[in-house]
A and B are shown apart, each in its own frame.
Chain A
Amino acid sequence: KQEVTQIPAALSVPEGENLVLNCSFTDSAIYNLQWFRQDPGKGLTSLLLIQSSQREQTSGRLNASLDKSSGRSTLYIAASQPGDSATYLCAIQFPNNAGNMLTFGGGTRLMVKP
């Protein structure tokens, strides 16, 4: 059974700091890993998707890495801003007996203080 864990559960940093969010998974047989952002009470916004054959993806100040062998992914946010405050979720797409499956981690709640 695929399990996805995100550490830390909550993080508070001053504006301008570089930070790393962590995601770990138990089964390396995955199709891809996706990082989402969720603002309070709202839906999810896709940030980055890394295919299983890729090592990293970059978008602006965001960089996501994937290490399948160790079952880990990191989301690096450079020069954090108050507008980055949100919950960040990672999700794994992987095969199971019924076809494909998607499992989310519990999220990291980020607060960037001005």
Chain B
Amino acid sequence: ETGVTQTPRHLVMGMTNKKSLKCEQHLGHNAMYWYKQSAKKPLELMFVYSLEERVENNSVPSRFSPECPNSSHLFLHLHTLQPEDSALYLCASSQEQFVDTQYFGPGTRLTVL
């Protein structure tokens, strides 16, 4: 079983749809992260969870809603997205928040029509 898995790998949705991205880590880590990678822009941190509690939210629009039901699972709920939200969404985990090596999942390629 690979360390960090993400589903789905590809997602196409309309602006009025509601969908969710899922991330699962099998490394026993305490911190999990959502990142957004847009074309020609640096990787952007969206959310951080440490021990299932959200500790960072870099002014992300409310149409993105994270959920961390336990230390192994992280979700990103999407609703009424805009075309500019099309990007690669990456999940990562680390033993502790920020101070350790982060391990990344393969990402979900999202296209908003």
Residues of chain A at the chain B interface (Cβ within 8 Å): 4, 31-32, 34, 36, 41-46, 49, 89, 91, 93, 98-107
Residues of chain B at the chain A interface (Cβ within 8 Å): 4, 6, 33, 41-45, 55-56, 88, 90, 92, 97-107, 109
Bound form: Cα–Cα A41–B97 in Å? 26
Q: CB distance A43 to B98 under 8 Å?
A: no
Chain B residues within an 8 Å CB radius of A49: 100-101
Chain B residues within an 8 Å CB radius of A100: 97-99
Chain B residues within an 8 Å CB radius of A45: 104
Chain A residues within an 8 Å CB radius of B33: 102
Q: CB distance A43 to B42 under 8 Å?
A: no
Q: CB distance A105 to B42 under 8 Å?
A: yes
Ordered by A's residue number, 19 sampled pairs between the chains whose C-beta atoms are within 8 Å are A4-B42, A34-B101, A34-B102, A36-B104, A42-B107, A43-B104, A43-B106, A43-B107, A44-B90, A46-B102, A49-B101, A99-B97, A99-B98, A101-B98, A102-B33, A102-B45, A102-B102, A104-B42, A106-B41
